[in-house]
Structure 1
Amino acid sequence: MAPLALAIRDRSTRWLQMLRLLPHAGRGLALGALALNVTLGLLPSAFIVSTSLLLSRVPALAAEPTGLSWDGIAVVFAVALGAFTLQQLLTPFQSAVTEVIARRVDEVCIGRLLDAALDDAPIALLENPEALDLLADARAAFERQAYTPGDAVGAIPALVSRYCQLTAAVVLVGVVLSPLAGLILMITALVIRMGVRGTLGRFAAVSESLAGHRRRAGYIGGLATGATAAKEIRVFGLLGWLRERLRSDTMANLRPMWAGSRRLQFWPFVGFSAVGFVGGAVAITMLAVAAGRGQVDLFELAVALQGILIPMRFGVYFPECDVQTQFGLHSFHALERFEQQAGAARTVGARATTMPVRPSREIRFDNVSFRYSADGPTILDGLDLTLPVGRSTAIVGLNGAGKTTLVKLLARLYEPTSGRITVDGAELARFDPDEWRRQLAMTFQDYVRYELTVAENIGLGAPRLLADDEAITAAAERAGALDALRGAPDPLRTPLSSRYPGGTDLSGGQWQRIALARALLAVQGGASVLVLDEPTAQLDVRAEVEFHDRFLATAKGITSVLISHRFSTVRHADQIVVIEHGRVVERGSHDELIRHDGRYAELFELQARRFRMDAAEPTAVG
């Protein structure tokens, strides 16, 4: 396809996309905005005609002050004043209506972004660099770091106003001077206009190619100005490094943009300025010749002079709509491409779905293998594992054995590379993922620390129980999550961040208890399988033993899975499974595995010896 045809197709596609988004603002609002802006586009011509008529009557009034009807002048003056006043009154509503349209359209697009990122996209896609670049560009607009799709759509009525103003001015010049003069002005304005927008479009392509640079610069900027790394920045003296890194990453984005701007806009600007000069000069020359020949009167001369200026201004940059309509869809295009990738990735892994049943006998991993990428290492390698319903299973092993990956497969955040997972004999892959996850209460190693109240942090484990203080308190007590907040006026309403009034910061171990309470509340909310991945990693040994003893004593009848690399704290589990190199190497109760004197017994003794040595070391006095 020829470059010109390709450019026309791309531009037409963009405008069609904006027009398809416009109804999301509401049909009544969209029609009202168009009517308002058409009116604003026509009022300048009404003002030109009425003021020109006034000027044309001044000589006659000076020559014969008593012979001219003042009533007629008063009417013309009233029309001119009315057009001017109405324009001043309506102009503020133009920006207000534009803002409302933008917000309504953005609301729809944000909803689509949330659905795509948090529902449609598999977790593996959220770890793909190309997809993350798209997601960053889509999100940047809604974080007000760039123009939004709503900004683009909201600018359409303002652009309509500009074209109405141009059309009315060209018609006036064509009527009072000549159709040829009007045509010349129209062509001149459109040539400059299309050229300016085409240049802006080519520059937008340069901007889109730099998504990765923008994401890296945004990350470093957030790191430098946020609280997450503030302590380490001070302790390690990282401020100088951060300044230089932020500058280099920012310039890696800006330098190509500046170079592209100079290459794409300098000489075209010179050329289009020349076109505007020639077109305007021709029209003014035609007007001068007609005036010299007496072919136009004072009224027509005044109308033509003012009318010629409007098309000349039309060929320049419009601050209220040009950048918005050109760059506002950048995030929308990123959103659409991300939606396509999410849909394709989900389709590849999708099979016929059925509503999951509450497990009644067992959950089984049958010869399951898994790797995170086609060329990545094998994490699980032919793993066979049975999780009896209503019993506690502890899965232990050294770091990197595949324990956390097993949990991700159980939650269907990933699908096995080979093998299958079954629930009471039914293949898990045939269950609806969202419905199956409602059967699970999980605490991951990298649980989220929400800067919300205690009640909200715990209540998010079962959203329907968010308002049930009794249930939240019960879950918190089981996890020991309220011990650190006993002195607070209202522990459940305490924000878990000192950056909010009345808020407090928790230690790592205290946060872990909050996360545990969240999972326990999910069980109260109907989940039938409780999975805790390293639930006590940030507790000391004594607190960890206390937790496991209390948890296993109160979790009778619950299907529970405890993931741990500490062998000594899971000894009371009904079943202990040892994983190494992605396979189950041993299984049984604690006593059975100790008697077997295999890998579990060896690692248990090594860890127990380490704890005995730590306890025997003398405490320094200082």
Structure 2
Amino acid sequence: MSRSWQRALALLWGIGRAQVLVLTAVTVLGAVVPALQVHLTARTVQLVADGFGGTGAAEQGPALLSGGCLVALSVVGHFLGVLRTYQETLLRTRLSDAVTLLLMEKAARLSLQQFEDAETYDALQRATREAAFRPYQAFTGFASVVSSLLSFLSVGAVLLHNDIPLALALCLAPVPSALVGLAFSRRTHAVQNARAEDRRKLIYLEHLLTNDQTYKETRLLDLAPLLLSRSKALVDEFYGVDRDIERRQALATALAGLVSTLVTGGAVLLAVHTALRTGQVGALAGYITGIALIQTSVQTLFASATQLYENNLFLGNLFAFIDLPSESVAQGHRALPERLRQGIEFRHVSFTYPGSAEPVLEDVSFTVPAGTCVALVGSNGAGKSTLLKLLARFYEPTSGTILVDGRPLAEYDLAELRDGIGAIFQDYIQYEAPARENIGLGRAGRLDDEQGIRAAADRGRALGFLDALPQGLDTYLGRWFSGGRQLSGGQWQKVALARAFFREAPVLLLDEPTAAVDAAAEAEIFGLLRKVHEGSTSLLVAHRFSAVRTADHIVVIDAGRVREQGSHDDLMASQGLYARLFRLQAAGYR
């Protein structure tokens, strides 16, 4: 048994031990039924033939009793089938939910570097495509192999007693079909793996046409025909490849299956010939029933073994994603204080993204004194947002050190470090959830803190319009769920601010927090932001100099290097890069 099968069965055992035990028992019992059917069929037919013409109980009784046992056996088989279906449904449902949670838990442990790598998304697509059913099929396939093997042994014992060469021929007849199945299983697995990225493209195209956040632009630009055309091209490509595989497999299976059919037909004719010579009608009935059952058992055995092989290939996709390395960095046991005492220092920090030869940051050094706000200014791609990622330890510097209160980041416990960081990003999340959760998720352990959530909403100037919603703070925001209400861009921004207020973190990262709002809303929001980082140590990334001027200190970054730094007045007086950028932006408002 392969490692993937073992892990799949262990997973099933862990989530549905009772169902596994019941299904195992039902499988074993069900495997004995065919042999009993062969025996009772032969006995009943022979008793009827021997007592033909008799009218007394002495002649009819044994035949009726044997026939009654055959009927009772059928009833038992029926109820075993019902019980098996019931337990399989329970196990399949629990497994699907458990594997989905397992994939979500694994995704939560991956690093940002992995989420910025297309190979991770390919691995996730392969895993999720098979996650709902492959582990379950591994169990049912294994159970089917055991059941078929037991049926084969029990019925085969009867046939071997009568004709050993013929029984061996019946056993070997399905081998060509099994070999065909194995070959095409490998081919199917290779094709599905190769198209993982194209599958993601199809999912993305579907997302563009089925999401409220993309609706306006896709409709205004009339992108539906183009997106549908590209989707159809992918679907047709998938179908064409799958159709060719299925056509070749059908032809090969038909030719291979002809061997099994001819052997079975020959066995039946031989049984008829034997009965004509001996007059043993019961033996003929039992033999024909046995031939059908053993042929079915052997075919099922080989088919299940083929399916097990295919499941093993696809289970490899599931466990390949589960086995991806989780986020792991060197860390100590320190926790951030409630308020920094010294501040943050970037000391000769350089960084190159994995897989790239060009450094994003080179020898960057500056300090953020405790309780102050430092703005990072520069053109797109200068490396400003990368500095925030490094501070949150989403990436590690290629060289240099980042210190918090004089201690390297590696001395802090990673969870404690991130727990002490709040953030408002340009692409902040608009949670399709109740308003109270949109704020309370800033500190998820305090979702029941009604007073704290309302206070944060009030500080963020969001309480008024949230209380005016149909269910107040219990109203769902967004349109994805029934009863939801959509907010304006400025209102969503204030909700994000309230979330930052609620977090009460000693370090605050602000990455273009007002890029999507108008000038009036920006002025109000930055007035609120000053309250957010009162007592906090803040890093602000912004392109609008109206925002930058509110900072205590400004660091100008160009091509990954610090070009100049100081206050707004000092930088304007120096007539350097900052002054030039400021004048360019100011000219646009004239």
TM-score normalised by length of structure 1: 0.86
Q: Is contact 1:354–1:431 with CA below 8 Å preserved after alignment?
A: yes
Per-residue deviation, 1:605 = 4.0
Contact 1:171–1:182 (Cα < 8 Å) also in 2 = no
SS in 2 for 1:124: helix
Q: Give the superposition deviation at 1:130.
A: 2.1
Closer/same/farther in 2, CA of residues 543 and 352 from structure 1, 3 Å limit: closer
For residues 396 and 250 of structure 1, what CA distance do their matches in structure 2 show? 46
Instruction: Check if 1:205 corresponds to 2:194.
Output: no
The alignment covers a number of residue pairs equal to: 588
What amino acid does structure 1 have at the position aligned with 2:105?
Answer: D
Q: Aligned pair in 2 of structure 1 residues 141, 83: CA closer, same or farther (>3 Å)?
A: same
After superposition, the Cα gap between the structure-2 partners of 1:30 and 1:402, relative to the gap in structure 1 and judged at 3 Å, is same
3-state SS of the aligned residue for 2:173?
A: helix
Task: Give the secondary-structure state (helix, strand or coil) at the position aligned to 1:261.
Answer: helix
Quick check: 1:387 aligned with 2:365? no
Q: In the alignment, what sits opposite 1:290?
A: 274
Match of 1:262 in 2: 247
Match in the other structure for 2:138: 152
> What amino acid is the match of 2:350?
S
Partner of 1:280: 264
Give the direction of change, closer, same or farther, for the CA distance of 1:24–1:584 in structure 2 (3 Å limit). Answer: same
Aligned to 2:127: 138
Q: Which runs of 5+ in 1 are unaligned?
A: 1-10, 614-622
Tell me the secondary structure at the aligned position of residue 390 of structure 1: coil
Change (3 A) 1:32 1:284: same
CA gap of 1:42–1:197, structure 2 versus 1, over 3 A, is farther
Q: Which of 94, 114, 135 in structure 1 is aligned with 2:84?
A: 94
CA offset at residue 231 of structure 1? Answer: 2.5
Kept in 2: contact 1:394–1:573 (CA 8 A): yes
Q: 2:400 aligns with which of 419, 428, 433?
A: 419
What aligned pairs does 1:77-226 form with structure 2 within 5 A after superposition? 77-119=67-109, 121-142=110-131, 147-175=133-161, 177-189=162-174, 192-193=177-178, 195-226=180-211
Matched-pair contact (CA < 8 Å) for 2:336–2:416: no
* CA distance in structure 2 between the aligned counterparts of 1:399 and 1:252, rounded to whole angstroms: 39
What are the within-5 Å matches in structure 2 for residues 54-93 of structure 1? 54-66=44-56, 68-93=58-83
Counterparts of residues 449-488 of structure 1 (less than 5 Å): 449-488=430-469
Aligned to 2:546: 568
Q: 2:295 aligns with which of 312, 335, 341?
A: 312
Determine if the alignment matches structure 1 residue 365 to structure 2 residue 346.
yes
Q: Could you tell me which of 584, 593, 598 is aligned with 2:562?
A: 584
Distance 1:491 1:260, change over 3 A: same
Q: Deviations over 1:282-317 (max 9, x none)?
A: 4234423432431x7222211110111123334657
TM-score, L = length of structure 2:
0.90
Go from structure 1 to structure 2 and tell me whether the alpha carbon gap of 1:318 and 1:503 turns closer, same or farther (over 3 Å shift). farther
8 Å contact from structure 2 (residues 501, 532) kept in 1: no
Aligned residue in 1 for 2:485: 504
What secondary structure is seen at the aligned counterpart in 1 of 2:112? coil
| In structure 2, distance between residues paired with 1:488 and 1:26 | 44
Secondary structure (helix, strand or coil) at the match of 1:461 reads: helix
Are the aligned partners of 2:51 and 2:60 in contact in 1 as well (CA < 8 Å)? no
Q: Cα distance 1:458–1:317, how it changes in 2: closer, same or farther (>3 A)?
A: farther
Name the CA distance, whole Å, in 2 between partners of 1:286 and 1:405. Answer: 80
Alignment-mate amino acid for residue 382 of structure 2: A
- Offset at residue 595 of structure 1 (A): 4.3
The letter for the 2-side match of 1:81 is V
> Measured at CA, do residues 513 and 315 of structure 1 come closer, stay the same or move farther in structure 2, by a change above 3 Å?
farther
Report how far residue 38 of structure 1 moved: 1.8
User: Which sections of structure 2, spanning at least 5 residues, go unmatched?
Assistant: none
3-state SS of 2:325 partner: helix
**C-alpha distance in structure 2 between counterparts of 1:169 and 1:441, whole Å:** 70
Deviations 1:407-449 (A, max 9, x none): 1111111112222212223221354433321111112222222
Structure 2 SS opposite 1:229:
helix
Contact 1:204 1:327 in 2 (8 A): yes
Change in 2 beyond 3 A, CA 1:542/1:229: closer
Measure the CA separation in 2 of the matches of 1:549 and 1:223: 36
Quick one: which amino acid aligns to residue 132 of structure 1?
Y
Partner amino acid, structure 2, of 1:306: T
Counterparts of 2:498 and 2:176, CA distance in 1: 66
Q: CA deviation at 1:469?
A: 1.9
Could you tell me whether the CA contact under 8 Å between 1:149 and 1:331 is conserved in 2? no
The equivalences for 1:317-396 within 5 A come to 325=308, 328=311, 332-343=315-326, 346=327, 350-351=329-330, 353-358=332-337, 359-396=340-377
Give distance in 1, aligned partners of 2:175 and 2:245. Answer: 24
Is residue 391 of structure 2 the alignment partner of residue 405 of structure 1?
no
Shift of 1:552: 1.4
State the distance in 2 between where 1:21 and 1:555 align.
Answer: 47
In the aligned structure 1, how far is the partner of 2:465 from the partner of 2:306?
A: 52
Match of 2:513 in 1: 535
Deviation, 1:504, is 0.9
Indicate conservation of the 8 Å contact 2:49/2:281, yes or no.
no
1:31 pairs, out of 10, 17, 21, with: 21
Q: Which residue of 1 aligns with 2:238?
A: 253
1:214 to partner: Cα distance: 1.9
